[in-house]
Amino acid sequence: MIGIEDLNVRGMLRNRRLSRSIADGAFYEFRRQLEYKSGIHGGTVVVADRWFASSKTCSDCGHRLEALPLSMRHWVCPECGAYHDRDVNA
């Protein structure tokens, strides 16, 4: 199983400094190839909605934080006490 996130590429292209690199990334082609290759080999590709709060949801118990500012890179789940890195948890 492969998990990917549905990105707002059109919105990301508005960033003048990153737009060329983002356009060269060919995100749609990468997703298409993942789905094609995983289908051949019996795998599945799961696409997470861009508005799903993956950074704020505990991967151990499923508890969801109400607020998690972007400046907070690590957090501890108030329910189970698990320590999470924001990017790894997402």
Predicted confidence band at 68 (pLDDT cuts at 50, 70, 90)?
A: confident
Q: State whether 47 and 59 are in the same domain.
A: no
Domain assignment of residue 59, given as a range: 53-90
- Count up the domains in the chain and report the number: 2
pLDDT at 6: 84
Q: What is the DSSP string of 23-72?
A: HHT-HHHHHHHHHHHHHHTT--EEEE-TT--TTTB-TTT--B-S---TT-
Mean pLDDT along residues 65-90: 88
pTM of the entire structure?
A: 0.61
The 10s digit of each residue's pLDDT in 39-54 is 999 999 999 888 888 8
pLDDT value, residue 22: 80
Percentage of residues in the chain having pLDDT higher than 90:
27
Residues 9 and 43 in one domain: yes
One domain, residues 47 and 58: no
